[in-house]
Structure formats: C-alpha cells, structure tokens
Amino acid sequence: MKHAFREQDTPNADPERLTENTHIGANSVAEGIAAFNAALPGKYRKDAVLAIEYLVTASPEDMTNKTRTQQDEYFKDALEWLRSKHGVDQVVYAGIHRDEKTPHMYAYVVPVDPDSGRLNAKKWLGGAKALNEMQTDFAHQVGRIHGLQRGIEGSKAQHTTVREFYAAIQAEEHKHGNLTAEHLQPAVLEKKILRNVIETPEMVAERLTRIIKTHYAPAIKEAAVAKLERRRAEEMANTAKDKDRGLKSAQERLKGFDGMFDGLNPTDKRELVRIAAKLKRDRQVEDEKARRIDTLPDVLKRSAGTACVFAAKALAAIKEKMGQWRKVDWDVVEKETVREAVNEHRQPMRKAVEAVLKHSPV
C-alpha cells in the first residue's frame, strides 16, 4: 500500500507525474488497509493467503501507443474482469500508476470463496494450469478487445526481479580511465624536514585498486545488462525449441493419416479439410457456449450491474425449461436484460450490450 500511494521511496517513479496516478476504492494507505480488513472473514488459518495482488499491463510499445482514453478503457475492462472473477466486494482496492515508464494497473483482492465464505486462494491460483488458463481467459475476454495478443504459452522465460533489473540499467555511461606513471609513485602523506612520510607499497596497491574500481564499475554494470539480455535470449530460444518439438510431434502424428487419403482426388481432399476445419470451429463454439452456461452461477454471485441481471434472468429461464438451456429463447432474455439495465439501473447502453454479449451463450 505504501508503494501504491507513494508513501515510500520509489526510485523508478517520476514525482512530477504523481498527480496522473488513479486510485479506486481508497485514497490513502489507511483507507486501503481499512477496506482490506473489512473484507477479511472473521476467522482464518494462520497460514492462509490474505490477499492476491494482480498486475495488469502490456508491452511498453503497446501501452505507449495507446491514447490516455484507450488506456483507461483497457484498465476499466480489466477491473470489471477481476470483479466478475472474485466479486465486487473482494476487490478492495485498485490503482493505476502513470508515473513510471509503462502505465499499469494493480489490484488487491481478498480471496474469499463464495461457496464456503473462507479464504481460498487456491481456488483461483491453484497451480500452473490454473494460472495459464487465467492468463488465456484474460487475453480472450479483455486483451483481444483492446488489440493485445496473449504472451507465448509455455514460455521458458524467467522473471527478472525489480532489484535485479534496476541494478543493471541504472548505470552511468562507461568512461575508460588511464593509469599514469604518477599514479604508480608512492604519494607523500606528510612532509618533514629530514624525511617525508610516504605511502607503503600496500597503501599504493589499495589506492590503485580504488581507482580501477571507480573507472570500471560502469563497465561491470554494462556487463550485467548484457547478461540479462543474453539470458532472455536463451530463454526465448528454449521456448522456441519446445514449440518446434511440439510441431514435429504433431507432424509425425499426421503422417499416420496419410494412407487414409490415398485414392482421393485433390477436390475431395480439399473438401475433407474444409469439413474438418468447420467441425473444429463448431466444437470450439459449443465448448464456449457450455462454458458460459456453467459460469452463470458464479456471474450471479460475483458480478454487479448488467452481468448480474443477465445471469439472474438466464438461470430463471433455464430452470423454467427444466435445465434444457438450448430451449431457452435467448433473444427475449437478452432484450429484457438490456431494457432493465438501461431503464431501471441506469446502465449505459453500450456497457449493457457488451455485458450481454460477454455472457450470453448464443
């Protein structure tokens, strides 16, 4: 919280741009902590995860190429995604930092399981598979709408800590130094009438060492940056090798089907490929429909506004049809949802329609 509100030293932040930052849900550390404490359940285990911090950003190029309005829309949709995932009350505070190089949003979530009322971070972050799926879902639900692409799945890249990164880049321009014969001569420490007091050989060595360190410290920092870049290149190369192995494996599996196409003319082969592609698309569409139906109870519990209205009407309509959601007149459900959201809840028409499109299975 102190970092969020700049109540502690933040070397990579520009103090002159402090007023450009945005705070949602709290305006100070005290307010943020109060909101956090209020969201905690009465009892919880000593080793429970009390909060999840989410970071929402994109590549520096993508973020800086967006206008302020486009950035705000991206962050607004990202916050709505988080609230639909955890519940409005559980997203206790969110903020946008624009005083750093790349604008980004962060949010603090108290992971209370709506089914049990207990803290349960594993429900959302339980293992690499869950994290992978979460990033994919965010890319599909939010990133895609704002012209962003998902990062490489299965990447071998390792996270570079903030300390490691800034230690490498905060380096002065490298200037070589020159040792002269004068540097090598023992310096006079004290002048006396009979005999001056001069440096011992050990003192000369120590002084020369300090000179060398002073001149070549920037070179060491430059080497640290180069090391980071080299490691990043190696990680991406490893990722590419994994992808290549996966592609070769798929190609080997396809070879087993070659015999099936013997005797078919080119037209028939093209038609089979077209049919296979259509079946794949249809299967993906059906999977997405089923996913949306399955998530309606969660949407009802954790969402607000149009999404909540739609989920309530959709579940009632499905119940009326004895659980057979395909028999529901979704056109009626959608229109009634938009009408209620706009007329009774004063939701903007655009946002109401977007919410319906996001959650409707048709």
- The CA-atom distances, in angstroms, between 293 and each of 23, 80, 172, 281, 326 are 34, 19, 57, 19, 10
- The CA-atom distances, in angstroms, between 285 and each of 135, 139, 253, 290 are 20, 17, 25, 9
User: E-assigned strands of 39-143?
Assistant: 52-56, 91-97, 104-109
In the predicted model, what is the mean pLDDT of the chain?
A: 83
Secondary structure (3-state) at 189:
strand
- What digits encode the pLDDT tens for the residues 236-257? 777 767 766 766 776 676 666 6
DSSP character at residue 89: G
Nearest to 137 by CA among 89, 88, 81: 81
pLDDT of residue 176: 56
Span 172-196, mean pLDDT? 67
Q: What is the percent of the chain with per-residue pLDDT over 70, rounded to a whole number? A: 80
- What digits encode the pLDDT tens for the residues 13-59? 999 999 999 999 999 999 999 999 999 998 999 999 999 999 999 98
Span 191-205, mean pLDDT? 76
Span 271-288, mean pLDDT? 81
Query: What is the residue type of 210?
Result: R
Which CATH architecture fits 15-146?
A: 2-Layer Sandwich (3.30)
Report domain extents, the chain: 15-146, 162-243, 286-359
Secondary structure (3-state) at 132:
helix
Backbone angles phi, psi at 94, to 5 degrees: -140, 150
- CA atoms of 305 and 352, how far apart (whole Å): 8
Token pair in block for residue 130:
């869950």
Poorest-pLDDT segment among 111-120, 135-144, 274-283: 274-283
Query: What is the residue type of 90?
Result: Q
Query: What is the residue type of 38?
Result: A
Poorest-pLDDT segment among 15-19, 206-210, 223-227: 223-227
Per-residue pLDDT band at 221 (split at 50, 70, 90): low
Secondary structure (3-state) at 92:
strand
pLDDT of residue 171: 53
pLDDT of residue 90: 94
Q: Which of 107-116, 197-206, 257-266 has the highest mean pLDDT?
A: 107-116
Per-residue pLDDT band at 206 (split at 50, 70, 90): confident
- CA atoms of 227 and 221, how far apart (whole Å): 10
The answer to whether residue 324 scores a pLDDT higher than 60 is yes
Query: What is the residue type of 111?
Result: P
Secondary structure (3-state) at 138:
helix
Q: Which of 206-210, 246-250, 346-350 has the highest mean pLDDT?
A: 346-350
State the CB neighbour count (10 A cutoff) for residue 81: 18
Please identify which residue in the block is written with the tokens 């005999």. 195
Which secondary structure element, helix H or strand E, spans residue 224, and what is its range?
A: helix 201-255
Strands across the sheet with 91-97, in order?
22-24, 91-97, 104-109, 52-56
- CA atoms of 180 and 133, how far apart (whole Å): 62
pLDDT of residue 54: 96
